[in-house]
């Protein structure tokens, strides 16, 4: 909807009204069309101001409408009509002008923005391009290089930056609508021809062809298979090389391709999934909207290794006072230096002062007595963690929340060491903890809704996307990683090379294939866990490793590499070789290939030809199958939780929506059929056995992903 008022006698004020972000729904578009006609037909009205209610100009097209039949007046002619109007139209931009919202403002003759407003064309993040003239008007207004930057990244810019670009005409600290109304009165009689952006020539640098070539190469390199960034470059190239009308036609063609692509659907699903995870629930029925968090002012981090350092930086940067405890003197010194460096670099990037004074370092756990929340990040060793939780419980205030950054140990066992087990949760960060967006908040059987709500809120305050998950080995992310890694190893045993497996996964869109990823995180990490589990022991009777452990197929390949001191990048050797320890450039290693040949010969394994399809299906479908088990067990409340975890924590390509959305795209019956096929071929691999929920969903006609929760509920109620 939109509302019309006449202000100061001669200005028609059109206010967009569609909470929460004044998106351009069919009703809003209809309102704008009708009210523009009214303003133009009233002789007393000399100029028009368009603004949005509640201090928000416009969040763009209504993304919910994209999934269905579009109705109402189309955006492009609406914006053209505004630009062609005979009376000046001024956009009064408060809050945000994003996507179609900014395109609407670009159709206006003038733009006045509040100093705190942000503007941008984020369509690329939804798998689209600015398809309501934005790709053609923006380069004409601010030049090709700046337009390419904004349109291909989708980044939001501040009002100050927008003014520098010439994207807005004026910024104000006062009431933007009042300023815009006064402005509209001043320009009421001024000629409009020069204010119609579509009539401007496109501002191109002399080496524009080279620029497009460079940008296209960069975009292709970073897009990981996403098509929208490429279409965005093509659309801006059309603005630079074609007359406006032909450019608009090209924009329409490109938009039509994107609009109906699976990628746009995946990215739009993911937009809502990110917001859905904030509405968490626990099997007990506790929920985000009925569980109040307690404020946290002062926090502590125990253990300043890789993770503790990043967590300390994340907390300090968000303004929390932090007590940082490390028992080893040498580690403490190194950590202080590393944390100060991270804070200084971060502050420089953001143009603020480094939050060095927010942190108090110490070697004694007694120094955390008065904090509101502790995050433990000591070695992944249950006995050590239990001891630390006993100490914390004795030292801290009774109300202190005690959290563990464990990658997958039982939160309940830690809670049992404390006086107040209801205040214990997992806060599982991802490395590097001050950079990675994901936080798994893990509730055990004794965790209270208060503790979950507090950890979720803390995550939000430090800029994380937090997902509440249940307690099980590996939680959601690492539990699903296990069958994925396992399949990758089996594929090596059966004839594949690490290079081939990685190439297939990287072509799919992962930032790194599974073996390059293992080399980066360190092969020793998983080895220690397998040793602790009694899995990575050489067979005592044979004197050499066997391929069956604890009743199921097991690949000791990773253990054998670790026994040779090949821990990955840190030792300069792993699944690949590196020039020196710490180097990041992975090169194929002839030693590894001979090692694999010898291994296969020793175990009488005949290498067979493995193709792309087999690598993808075995790695991804086994992981997806585990995802369904996680849903069935109630460890994740819905598929969105899993998808958000995989995109933000494991570099799953966002334009494929996440593993569960991908399964829905491929077709659940196909996933089931292929799992059945592989399970038949490998009956000693239980992770390939299709789980009950997957079968149930297929039997229920493979409902759309938005309906899975209903089937999950039924399956769980029958357990």
Ligand X SMILES: CC(C)(COP(=O)(O)OP(=O)(O)OC[C@H]1O[C@@H](n2cnc3c(N)ncnc32)[C@H](O)[C@@H]1OP(=O)(O)O)[C@@H](O)C(=O)NCCC(=O)NCCSC(=O)CC(=O)CCCCCCCCCCCCC(=O)O
- Locate the DSSP E strands across 387-456: 401-404, 424-429, 438-443
Q: Within 187-223, where are the H helices? A: 208-223
Query: Rounded to an integer, what distance in angstroms lies between the CA atom of residue 588 and that of residue 498?
Result: 8
Task: Name the segment binding ligand NAI (CB under 6 A); options: 205-213, 240-248, 403-411, 566-574.
Answer: 403-411
Question: Cβ of residue 436: shortest distance to ligand NAI, in angstroms?
Answer: 9
Residues 305-344 that bind ligand NAI (CB under 6 A): 305-308, 325-328, 331
* 100 counts as binding ligand X under rule CB under 6 A: yes
Q: Which partner from the list ligand NAI, ligand X, none does 272 bind, CB cut-off 5 to 8 Å by kind?
A: ligand X
Residues forming beta bridges with residue 3, ordered by sequence position: 15
Q: In whole angstroms, what is the distance from residue 656 CA to residue 665 CA?
A: 9
User: Smallest distance from the beta carbon of 178 to ligand NAI, in angstroms?
Assistant: 51
Which of ligand X, ligand NAI, none is residue 308 near (CB under 5 to 8 Å by kind)? Answer: ligand NAI
- Helix axis angle, 639-650 relative to 477-493, nearest 10°? 70
**Beta-carbon count within 10 A of 598 CB:** 10
Task: Please state, in angstroms and rounded to a whole number, the distance separating the CA atoms of residues 616 and 249.
Answer: 38
281 binds, among ligand X, ligand NAI, none (CB under 5 to 8 A by kind): none
Token pair, residue 214, equals: 């460079």
C-alpha 267/C-alpha 63 separation (Å) is 11
Q: CB of residue 573 vs ligand NAI: minimum separation in angstroms? A: 20
Scan for tokens 């995802």, then name that residue.
627
Minimal CA–CA distance to 235: which of 220, 222, 248?
248
Contacting range for ligand NAI; rule: CB under 6 A; set: 129-137, 303-311, 466-474, 615-623: 303-311
275 binds, among ligand NAI, ligand X, none (CB under 5 to 8 A by kind): ligand X
Binding mask 60-99 for ligand X (x = CB under 6 A): xxxxx----------x--------------------x-xx
Token duo for residue 583: 């180097």
Tell the smallest beta-carbon distance from residue 480 to ligand X (Å). Answer: 25
Identify which of residues 76 and 536 has a Cβ nearer to ligand X in the complex.
Answer: 76
The C-alpha atoms of residue 528 and residue 380 are separated, in whole angstroms, by 9
Least Å distance between CB 328 and ligand X? 41
Residue 47 sits at φ, ψ, to 5 deg, of -155, 165
Q: Which of 123, 499, 614, 640 is catalytic?
A: 123
Is residue 621 reached through a cis peptide bond, with omega within 30 degrees of 0 on the bond before it? no
Question: Which of the choices ligand NAI, ligand X, none does residue 62 contact, using the CB cut-off of 5 to 8 A by kind?
Answer: ligand X
The distance of closest approach from Cβ of residue 387 to ligand NAI in the complex, given in angstroms and rounded to an integer, is 7
Q: Which does 686 bind (CB under 5 to 8 A by kind): ligand NAI, ligand X, none?
A: none
The sheet with strand 157-158 has its strands ordered as 96-98, 118-120, 157-158
The Cα–Cα gap between 499 and 162 comes to: 45
Site stretch for ligand X (CB under 6 A), options 57-65, 211-219, 538-546, 624-632 = 57-65
* Token code pair at residue 504: 């297939």
Residue number, 1 or 520, with CB nearest to ligand NAI: 520
Among 122, 133, 303, 639, binds ligand NAI (CB under 6 A): 303
CA distance 391 to 67: 53
334 classed as catalytic: no
Question: With the C-alpha atoms ordered 90, 94, 100, 106, is the resulting torsion angle positive or negative?
Answer: positive
Instruction: Choose among ligand NAI, ligand X, none what residue 59 binds, the Cβ cut-off being 5 to 8 Å by kind.
Output: ligand X
The sign of the CA dihedral 184, 189, 194, 199 is: positive
Inter-residue contact 14 to 48 (CB < 8 Å): yes
Candidate segments 124-132, 222-230, 469-477, 616-624, binder of ligand X by CB under 6 A: 124-132
Among ligand NAI, ligand X, none, what binds residue 343 when CB lies within 5 to 8 Å by partner kind? none
Cβ at position 491, least distance to ligand NAI in Å: 24
DSSP state letters, 456-470? HHHHHHTT-EEEEEE
For residue 349, the SS3 value is helix
By CB under 6 A, residue 256 contacts ligand X: yes
CB of 186 to ligand NAI, least distance (A): 58
- Interaction mask 12-31, ligand X, x per CB under 6 A: --------xx-x--------
Nearest 5°: phi and psi at 152? -80, -25
Element (H, E) at 384: helix 382-395
Tell me the site size for ligand X, rule CB under 6 A. Answer: 27
Euclidean distance between CA atoms 282 and 288, whole angstroms: 9
Minimal distance, residue 423 CB to ligand NAI, in Å: 19
Residue 640 beta carbon to ligand X: minimum distance, rounded to whole angstroms: 11
Going residue by residue from 414 to 443, which x/- string records binding to ligand NAI, judged by CB under 6 A? ---------------xxx------------
In the list ligand NAI, ligand X, none, the entry touching 20 (Cβ below 5 to 8 angstroms by class) is ligand X
Q: How far is the CB of 320 from ligand X (least distance, A)?
A: 21
* Inter-axis angle of helices 26-41 and 75-84, nearest 10: 20
123 is catalytic: yes
50: nearest Cα among 123, 106, 117? 106
Nearer to ligand X, 113 or 561 (CB): 113
Member of 12, 131, 421, 639 binding ligand X (CB under 6 A): 131
Residues 103, 326, 617, 632: which is the catalytic one?
103
To ligand NAI, the closest distance from the beta carbon of 117 in angstroms equals 38
Binds ligand NAI by CB under 6 A, chosen from 146, 388, 423, 458: 388
302, interface contact from ligand X, ligand NAI, none, CB < 5-8 Å by kind: ligand NAI
- What's the CA gap between 493 and 620, in Å, rounded? 18
Member of 503, 521, 689, 700 binding ligand NAI (CB under 6 A): 521
Pick from ligand X, ligand NAI, none: which does 305 bind, CB < 5 to 8 A by kind? ligand NAI
Q: Residue 527 and residue 561: Cα distance in Å, rounded?
A: 10
Window contacting ligand NAI (CB under 6 A); options: 20-28, 229-237, 238-246, 380-388: 380-388
Q: Which does 521 bind (CB under 5 to 8 A by kind): ligand X, ligand NAI, none?
A: ligand NAI
Alpha helices by DSSP H, 59-203: 75-84, 100-107, 134-142, 144-153, 159-165, 176-186
Q: Are strands 359-362 and 170-172 parallel, antiparallel or unpaired?
A: unpaired
Distances, alpha carbon 358 to alpha carbons 298, 393, 444, in Å: 10, 24, 31
CB of 141 or CB of 255, closer to ligand X? 255
491 cis-preceded (ω within 30 degrees of 0) = no
Tell me if 166 sits within 8 A of 173, measured CB to CB. Answer: no
- Of 255 and 335, CB closest to ligand X: 255
CA 191 to chain centre: 46
- Minimum separation from the CB atom of position 624 to ligand NAI (A): 23
Radius of gyration in angstroms for the set of CA atoms belonging to the chain, rounded to a whole number: 29
* Partner from ligand X, ligand NAI, none binding residue 486, C-beta < 5-8 Å depending on class: none
- Record the tokens describing residue 629, joined without a space: 């088990």
Should residue 130 be labelled a site residue for ligand NAI when binding is judged by CB under 6 A? no
Token digits for 538?
A: 């050489």
Which range binds ligand NAI by CB under 6 A, 173-181, 373-381, 462-470, 555-563?
A: 373-381
Which residues does 358 contact at the CB level (< 8 Å), separation at least 6?
Answer: 315, 316, 319, 320, 321, 322
Q: Which residues are catalytic?
A: 103, 123
* Residues in contact with ligand X by the rule CB under 6 A: 20-21, 23, 59-64, 75, 96, 98-100, 103, 122-123, 126, 128, 131-132, 255-256, 259-260, 272, 275
* Residues in contact with ligand NAI by the rule CB under 6 A: 302-308, 325-328, 331, 377-380, 384, 388, 405-407, 429-431, 521
């Amino acid at each position: 909807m939109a509302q019309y008022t006449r202000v100061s006698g001669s200005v028609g004020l059109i206010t967009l009204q569609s909470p929460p972000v004044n998106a351009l729904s069919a009703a809003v578009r209809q309102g704008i069309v009708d009210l523009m006609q009214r303003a133009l037909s009233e002789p007393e009205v000399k100029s028009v101001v368009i603004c949005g209610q509640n201090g928000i100009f416009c969040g763009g097209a209504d993304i919910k409408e994209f999934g269905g039949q579009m109705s109402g007046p189309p955006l492009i002619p609406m914006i053209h009509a505004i630009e062609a109007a005979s009376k000046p139209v001024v956009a009064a931009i408060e809050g945000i002008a994003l996507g179609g919202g900014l395109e609407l403002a670009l159709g206006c003759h003038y733009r006045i923005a509040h100093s705190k407003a942000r503007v941008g064309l984020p369509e690329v993040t939804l798998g689209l391009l600015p398809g309501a003239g934005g790709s053609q008007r923006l380069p004409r207004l601010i030049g090709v290089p700046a337009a390419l930057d904004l349109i291909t990244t989708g980044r939001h810019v501040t009002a100050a930056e927008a003014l520098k670009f010439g994207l807005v005409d004026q910024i104000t600290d006062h009431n933007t609508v009042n300023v815009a109304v006064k402005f509209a009165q001043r320009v009421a009689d001024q000629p409009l021809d020069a204010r119609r952006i579509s009539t401007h020539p496109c501002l191109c640098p002399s080496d524009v062809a080279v620029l497009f070539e460079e940008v296209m190469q960069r975009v292709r390199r970073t897009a990981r298979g996403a098509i929208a960034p490429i279409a965005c470059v093509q659309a801006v190239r059309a603005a630079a090389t074609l007359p406006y009308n032909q450019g608009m036609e090209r924009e329409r063609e490109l938009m039509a391709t994107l609009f109906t692509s699976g990628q746009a659907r995946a990215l739009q699903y993911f937009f809502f999934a990110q917001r859905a995870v904030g509405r968490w629930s626990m099997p007990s029925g506790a929920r985000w909207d009925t569980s109040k968090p307690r404020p946290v002012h002062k926090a502590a981090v125990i253990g300043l290794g890789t993770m503790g350092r990043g967590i300390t930086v994340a907390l300090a940067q968000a303004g929390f006072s932090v007590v940082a405890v490390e028992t080893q003197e040498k580690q403490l010194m190194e950590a202080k230096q590393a944390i100060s460096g991270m804070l200084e670099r971060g502050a420089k990037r953001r143009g603020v002062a480094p939050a060095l004074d927010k942190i108090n370092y110490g070697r004694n756990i007694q120094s955390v007595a008065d904090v509101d929340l502790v995050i433990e990040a000591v070695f992944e060793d249950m006995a050590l963690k239990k001891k630390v939780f006993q100490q914390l419980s004795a030292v801290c205030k009774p109300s202190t929340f005690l959290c563990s950054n464990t990658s997958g140990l039982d939160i309940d066992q830690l809670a049992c060491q404390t006086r107040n087990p209801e205040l214990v949760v997992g806060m599982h960060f991802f490395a590097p903890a001050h950079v990675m967006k994901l936080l798994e908040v893990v509730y055990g059987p004794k965790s209270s809704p208060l503790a979950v709500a507090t950890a979720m809120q803390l995550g939000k305050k430090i800029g994380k996307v937090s997902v509440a998950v249940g307690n099980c080995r590996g939680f959601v992310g690492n539990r699903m990683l296990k069958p994925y890694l396992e399949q990758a190893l089996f594929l090596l045993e059966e004839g594949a090379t690490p290079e081939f497996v990685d190439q297939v996964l990287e072509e799919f869109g992962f930032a790194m294939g599974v073996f390059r990823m293992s080399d980066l995180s360190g092969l020793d990490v998983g080895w220690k866990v397998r040793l602790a589990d009694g899995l990575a022991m050489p067979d005592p009777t044979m004197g050499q490793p066997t391929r069956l452990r604890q009743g199921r197929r097991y690949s000791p390949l990773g253990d054998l590499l670790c026994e040779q001191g090949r821990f990955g990048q840190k030792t300069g050797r792993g699944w690949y070789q590196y020039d020196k320890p710490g180097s990041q450039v992975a090169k194929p290693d002839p030693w590894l290939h001979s090692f694999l040949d010898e291994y296969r010969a020793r175990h009488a394994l005949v290498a067979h030809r493995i193709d792309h399809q087999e690598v993808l299906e075995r790695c991804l479908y086994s992981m997806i199958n585990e995802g369904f088990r996680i849903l069935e067990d109630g460890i994740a409340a819905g598929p969105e939780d899993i998808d958000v975890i995989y995109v933000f924590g494991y570099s799953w390509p966002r334009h494929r929506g996440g593993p569960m959305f991908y399964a829905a795209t491929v077709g659940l019956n196909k996933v089931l059929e292929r799992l059945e096929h592989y399970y038949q071929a490998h009956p000693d691999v239980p992770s390939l056995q299709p789980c009950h929920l997957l079968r149930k969903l297929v039997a229920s006609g493979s409902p759309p992903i938005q309906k899975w929760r209903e089937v999950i509920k039924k399956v769980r109620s029958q357990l």
